[in-house]
């Protein structure tokens, strides 16, 4: 793929796909603008090089219909404040009115198109819709790493329909860190995988087995592994249909000489409630009507020791139900262990990202990816549609 730096942007209509799918509160206030801030270098670069900037993004999952609460209006305001320049929001993404407004853009002026997912054609990667988007531009830039795993019209189809297409600075940075961590890592390479469901991470675990030196598993997904070892998990969440596969994966890891770490103690409660009574118990002693909701302190120490000598760390998924204080300590302690290490640390996935922000340790992590699903897809070893449409991960200069 080409980099934006290789293109002449002066006077050109530059259509940029970004991922402004930012969290909003009930009053449509943006609660975290990281995804907006992360693409500012690309947007500023286009404006500085006298491009006529057309920005497009999705927000949420409106399922092909106009949903006022998912308008990009709050994003237009925040972006304007960050760029210190008013950002016009178009009423839609295609059609005569949008074409007219884009046609009238002067050099270094910009417009933000309304939520792409108000159109059912977007997620269907409809060729006509992709062509209409492409017709708005002379140059297409993908700087939307977080949605690049989706073969949607604005990510995939448009890249194939525009005369010139290239990657923005954020997309390049994300892929560069990922390569550094997983393709040519300094060793030991430690992967920490957590979260609720082993089913959603199984592909990633399988792929990681051929790359990592140590694999640490936490969160509710660890339960399926513990069950495969014969532990009684009480009422803990277990994906029964995956217990056998989890056992096999663990055996394979051991056979291949990968150090495999599971919780040795857990925080249990009878219900998922901030006020619930909690206990810390070894995994051998989970009471029948209790459930494991976080890793325990002995596990936190074990995991901290396991990553102590790491040279590269990749982390995806929390260690427990960290959104509830009583079950957040395992994840918080993992944040500090990763932050304290001297390793190159790459963290991805919405929840993990929130945990790091809430502890104020962001600056002590080498790189926090803006991607959730896209990051996971890379962990699975699968290419991203949006990157493939640009010609693949190798930067052509």
Cβ–Cβ contacts within 10 Å for residue 128, how many? 11
Q: Is 187 in the site for ligand 3PG (CB under 6 A)?
A: no
* Closer by beta carbon to ligand 3PG, 14 or else 147: 147
Q: Is 146 in the site for ligand 3PG (CB under 6 A)?
A: yes
Q: Which of 194, 218, 330, 372 binds ligand 3PG (CB under 6 A)?
A: 372
Q: How many residues bind ligand 3PG (CB under 6 A)?
A: 8
Q: Which of 6, 29, 48, 61 binds ligand 3PG (CB under 6 A)?
A: 61
At 162, is the secondary structure helix, strand, or coil? coil
How are strands ordered across the β-sheet holding 13-17?
88-89, 110-112, 52-56, 13-17, 139-142, 164-167
Annotated active-site residue in 17, 35, 150, 237 = 35
Please say if 392 is a catalytic residue. Answer: no
CA-to-CA distance for 214 and 337, rounded, in angstroms?
Answer: 15
Shortest separation between residue 60's beta carbon and ligand 3PG, angstroms: 7
Among 76-84, 144-152, 158-166, 188-196, which window interacts with ligand 3PG (CB under 6 A)? Answer: 144-152
- Give the β-pairing of 110-112 and 88-89: parallel
Annotated active-site residue in 5, 44, 66, 197 = 197
Please say if 124 is a catalytic residue. Answer: no
Q: What is the DSSP string of 35-85?
A: HHHTTHHHHHHHHHTT-EEEEE---S--TTS--GGG-SHHHHHHHHHHHTS
Tokens of 63: 């399922």
Among 78-86, 146-154, 248-256, 336-344, which window interacts with ligand 3PG (CB under 6 A)? Answer: 146-154
Q: Is 138 in the site for ligand 3PG (CB under 6 A)?
A: no
Residue 372 has phi, psi (to 5 degrees) of: -110, -80
Please say if 197 is a catalytic residue. Answer: yes
Q: Which of 21, 42, 115, 333 binds ligand 3PG (CB under 6 A)?
A: 21
**Are the CB atoms for 11 and 139 separated by under 8 Å?**
no
CA-to-CA distance for 368 and 385, rounded, in angstroms?
Answer: 22
Question: Looking at the annotation, which residues are catalytic?
Answer: 35, 197, 350, 373
Q: Enumerate binding residues for ligand 3PG (CB under 6 A).
A: 19, 21, 61, 146-147, 150, 372-373
């Amino acid at each position: 793929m080409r980099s934006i730096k290789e293109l002449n942007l002066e006077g050109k209509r530059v259509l940029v796909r970004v991922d402004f799918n930012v969290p909003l509160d009930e009053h449509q206030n943006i609660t975290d603008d990281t995804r907006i801030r992360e693409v500012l270098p690309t947007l500023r670069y286009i404006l500085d090089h006298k491009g006529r900037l057309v920005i497009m993004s999705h927000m949420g999952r409106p399922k092909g219909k106009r949903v006022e609460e998912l308008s990009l209006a709050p994003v237009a305001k925040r972006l304007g404040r960050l760029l210190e320049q008013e950002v016009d929001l178009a009423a839609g993404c295609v059609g005569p009115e949008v074409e007219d407004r884009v046609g009238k853009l002067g050099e270094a002026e910009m417009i933000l198109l309304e939520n792409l997912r108000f159109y059912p054609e977007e997620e269907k990667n409809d060729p006509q819709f992709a062509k209409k988007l492409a017709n708005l531009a002379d140059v297409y830039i993908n700087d939307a790493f977080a949605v690049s795993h989706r073969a949607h019209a604005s990510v995939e189809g448009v890249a194939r329909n525009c005369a010139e297409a290239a990657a923005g600075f954020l997309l390049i940075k994300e892929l560069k860190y990922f390569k550094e961590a997983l393709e040519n890592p300094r060793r030991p390479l430690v992967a920490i995988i957590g979260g609720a469901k082993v089913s959603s991470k199984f592909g990633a675990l399988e792929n990681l087995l051929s790359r990592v030196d140590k694999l640490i598993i936490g969160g509710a997904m660890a339960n399926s592994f513990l069950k495969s070892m014969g532990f009684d998990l009480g009422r803990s969440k277990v994906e029964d249909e995956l217990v056998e596969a989890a056992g096999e994966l663990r055996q394979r890891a051991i056979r291949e000489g990968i150090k495999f770490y599971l919780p040795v103690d857990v925080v249990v409660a009878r219900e998922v409630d901030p006020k619930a009574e909690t206990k810390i118990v070894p995994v051998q002693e989970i009471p029948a009507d209790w459930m494991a909701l976080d890793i325990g302190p002995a596990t936190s120490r074990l995991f901290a020791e396991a990553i102590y000598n790491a040279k590269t760390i990749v982390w995806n998924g929390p260690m427990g139900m960290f959104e509830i204080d009583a079950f957040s300590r395992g994840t918080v302690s993992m944040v500090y262990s990763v932050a304290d290490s001297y390793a190159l640390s790459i963290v991805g996935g919405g929840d993990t990202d929130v945990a790091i922000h809430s502890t104020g340790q962001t600056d002590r992590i080498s790189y926090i990816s803006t991607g959730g699903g896209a990051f996971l897809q890379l962990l699975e070893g699968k290419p991203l549609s949006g990157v493939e449409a640009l010609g693949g991960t190798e930067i052509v200069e």
